[in-house]
């Protein structure tokens, strides 16, 4: 047993950091101001191999593990949450459904393309009327033929807060095909450009400014049996399984944001003078930095443990992942808030990197299952 990253993971993290420093950081300010994801990054991400960590070798992937996804998420979020979330959604929140449950034809059509960055994927589950309660989905897939095989379906409904919606070549859409509740949901792969599929303009958000988030309208979208991802009626369970890697990625992002805030704070308090000395001469300031580091390291260990448990099929992997997602999201919010405080007025300026991290971390307590849902997962066994 080791509490340190092994050489392969440490090398991978270092490679991600070098890539992010060179290719991503120079684009962050412009992407943040324009609110537009830098399109040129997709193929660069693909060439760097960071969109195919969970993709089989035969489709150009590297068959890496969940810890690698956490490390990648960490390094991307150090630079920008808005940029980080877009590839993470495509490869590890939407694309994973095609990797795990896709038919041979779907795999041939999408896996290499997503891993190389030539295609972008989105996952459309949340609706205006239901988010946390995934089993409450009302978007409908209705079979249009009377035969027993249900070869053709038509999709109607609305999806809300869909990341990458306006950039996606394929959307993995959850819709009701059967009875109310968990057992009546099916996933479909819907290609961009399908008649009846349309999007709102990008939603204006508090953070993640450069990620593309939209409402999706399904108005008589025709799909066929070949477009079902996985098994009819199993969509809810596939979505729940997909959430586990998604939450590892989001926890990794929280660690990245907090690590960056800590580094920025350390530099700032060493340079900024008050009362004739650097801020770091003050014990209260040094202790604040130490507390930030303690919180960060605790969340990092819990996240790495959860990733390892997920890959090992540990019986408590679900609780571990929920704990990591909760802890990393709450920790990142506290650490980003502390960083703004240490920067004083400079930290409140829109252009300040700590202000950007502060805005970006808030959604980590909401997306991929809210704090309350993570606590619910952890305490299910206490229900009478
Ligand atoms: C920027 C952004 C990007 C997103 N990207 C995507 C995407 O790509 N695809 C997608 O499908 N979704 C996406 N989402 C949706 C996200 O997953 C949901 O917002 C989230 O799951 C919460 O659902 P909700 O917003 O409907 O809140 P609600 O479910 O309405 O919850 C409101 C409040 O009630 C609490 N609550 C609800 N149920 C319980 C309970 N049982 N016990 C205690 N408290 C409870 C919640 O914790 C929360 O505090 C995104 C959201 C955002 C903000």
176-201: pLDDT as tens digits: 999 999 999 999 999 999 999 999 99
15-32 pLDDT per residue, tens = 999 999 999 999 999 999
Q: Is the CB of 132 under 6 A from ligand 1?
A: yes
State yes or no: pLDDT of 332 exceeds 70.
Answer: yes
Query: Residue range 88-116: average pLDDT?
Result: 98
For a mutational test of ligand 1's pocket, the pick from 362, 363, 370, 373, i.e. the residue with the most ligand atoms closer than 8 A to its C-beta, is: 370
Contact 172, 218 (CB under 8 A): no
Tokens of 185: 């949901």
* CA of 109 relative to ligand 1 center, distance in Å: 31
For a mutational test of ligand 1's pocket, the pick from 87, 88, 132, i.e. the residue with the most ligand atoms closer than 8 A to its C-beta, is: 132
| Same fold: 7-120 with 122-233 | no
Domain range annotation of the chain: 7-120, 122-233, 237-382
* CA of 162 relative to ligand 1 center, distance in Å: 12
Q: Is the CB of 125 under 6 A from ligand 1?
A: yes
pLDDT of residue 245: 98
Protein residue whose Cα sits closest to atom 37 of ligand 1: 132
∠ CA 307-311-314, rounded to 5°: 90
Query: Residue range 130-143: average pLDDT?
Result: 97
Protein residue whose Cα sits closest to atom 43 of ligand 1: 372
Q: Which of 136, 127, 116, 3 is nearest to 49 (CA)?
A: 116
* CA of 239 relative to ligand 1 center, distance in Å: 14
Local confidence band at 148 (pLDDT 50, 70, 90 cut-offs): confident
Q: Is the CB of 126 under 6 A from ligand 1?
A: yes
Tokens of 55: 């993709």
State yes or no: pLDDT of 383 exceeds 90.
Answer: no
Query: Residue range 315-340: average pLDDT?
Result: 98
- Cross-strand partners of 216: 159, 199
Packing angle between helix 66-79 and helix 235-271, nearest 10 degrees?
A: 50
* CA of 79 relative to ligand 1 center, distance in Å: 25
Contact 141, 69 (CB under 8 A): no
245-295 pLDDT per residue, tens = 999 999 999 999 999 999 999 999 999 999 999 999 999 999 999 999 999
Residues annotated as part of the active site: 246
Task: Give the pTM.
Answer: 0.98
Protein residue whose Cα sits closest to atom 41 of ligand 1: 373
Local confidence band at 384 (pLDDT 50, 70, 90 cut-offs): low
pLDDT of residue 49: 97
Tokens 């060439």 label which residue? Answer: 47
What CATH code is assigned to 7-120?
1.10.540.10
Ligand 1 atom closest to the Cα of residue 125 is 11
Q: How many CB atoms are located within 10 Å of the residue 127 CB?
A: 21
Q: Is the CB of 158 under 6 A from ligand 1?
A: no
What CATH code is assigned to 122-233?
2.40.110.10
Local confidence band at 340 (pLDDT 50, 70, 90 cut-offs): very high
Question: Chain centroid to CA 223: how far?
Answer: 27
Helix (H, G, I), strand (E, B) or coil at 92: helix
The span from the CA of 143 to the CA of 232, in Å, is 12
Helix (H, G, I), strand (E, B) or coil at 267: helix
45-95 pLDDT per residue, tens = 999 999 999 999 999 999 999 999 999 999 999 999 999 999 999 999 999
Protein residue whose Cα sits closest to atom 32 of ligand 1: 132
Q: How many residues does the chain have?
A: 384
pLDDT of residue 141: 97
Q: Which of 235, 229, 147 is nearest to 184 (CA)?
A: 235
Packing angle between helix 235-271 and helix 353-361, nearest 10 degrees?
A: 150
Local confidence band at 1 (pLDDT 50, 70, 90 cut-offs): confident
Q: Is the CB of 370 under 6 A from ligand 1?
A: yes
Q: Is the CB of 208 under 6 A from ligand 1?
A: yes
* CA of 68 relative to ligand 1 center, distance in Å: 26
Mean pLDDT of all residues in the chain? 97
The span from the CA of 331 to the CA of 347, in Å, is 18
DSSP state, residue 89:
I
∠ CA 298-299-301, rounded to 5°: 70
What CATH code is assigned to 237-382?
1.20.140.10
For a mutational test of ligand 1's pocket, the pick from 161, 163, 214, i.e. the residue with the most ligand atoms closer than 8 A to its C-beta, is: 161
* CA of 365 relative to ligand 1 center, distance in Å: 9
First to last CA, the chain: 37
Burial 230-257 (b: 16+ CB within 10 A, else e): bebbbbbebbebbbbbbbbbbbbbbbbb
Q: DSSP string of 184-237? A: GEEEEEEETT-TTEEEPSPPP-SS-TTS-EEEEEEEEEEEEGGGEES-TT-HHH
State yes or no: pLDDT of 297 exceeds 80.
Answer: yes
* CA of 375 relative to ligand 1 center, distance in Å: 14
pLDDT of residue 149: 77
């Amino acid at each position: 047993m080791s509490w340190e990253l092994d050489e392969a993971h440490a090398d991978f993290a270092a490679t991600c950091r070098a890539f992010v420093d060179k290719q991503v950081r120079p684009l962050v300010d412009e992407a943040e101001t324009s609110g537009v994801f830098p399109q040129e990054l997709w193929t660069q991400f693909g060439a760097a191999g960071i969109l195919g960590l969970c993709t089989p070798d035969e489709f150009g992937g590297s068959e890496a593990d969940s810890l690698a996804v956490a490390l990648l998420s960490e390094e991307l979020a150090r630079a920008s949450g808005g940029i980080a979330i877009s590839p993470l959604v495509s490869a590890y929140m939407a694309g994973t459904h095609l990797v795990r449950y896709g038919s041979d034809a779907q795999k041939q059509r999408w896996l290499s393309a997503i891993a190389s960055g030539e295609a972008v994927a989105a996952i459309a589950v949340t609706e205006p009327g239901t988010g946390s309660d995934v089993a409450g989905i009302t978007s409908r897939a209705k079979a249009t033929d009377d035969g027993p095989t249900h070869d053709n379906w038509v999709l109607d409904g609305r999806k809300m807060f869909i990341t990458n919606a306006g950039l996606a070549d394929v959307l993995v859409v959850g819709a009701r095909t059967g009875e109310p509740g968990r057992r009546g949901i099916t996933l479909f792969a819907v290609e961009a450009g399908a008649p009846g599929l349309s999007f709102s303009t990008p939603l204006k958000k508090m953070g993640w400014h450069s990620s593309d988030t939209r409402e999706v309208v399904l108005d008589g979208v025709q799909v066929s049996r070949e477009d079902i991802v996985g098994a009819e009626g199993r969509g809810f369970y596939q979505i729940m399984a997909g959430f586990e890697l998604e939450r590892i990625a989001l926890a990794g992002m929280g660690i990245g944001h907090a690590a960056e805030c800590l580094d920025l704070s350390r530099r700032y308090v060493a340079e900024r003078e008050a009362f004739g000395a650097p801020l770091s001469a003050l014990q209260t300031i040094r202790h604040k930095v130490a507390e930030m580091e303690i919180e960060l390291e605790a969340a990092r260990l819990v996240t790495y443990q959860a990733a390892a448990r997920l890959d090992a099929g540990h019986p408590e992997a679900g609780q571990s992942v929920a704990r990591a997602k909760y802890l990393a999201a709450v920790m990142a919010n506290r650490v980003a808030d502390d960083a703004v405080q240490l920067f004083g007025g400079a930290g409140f300026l829109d252009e300040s990197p700590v202000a950007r991290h502060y805005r970006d971390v808030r959604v980590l307590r909401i997306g991929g299952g809210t704090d309350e849902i993570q606590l619910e997962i952890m305490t299910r066994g206490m229900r009478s």
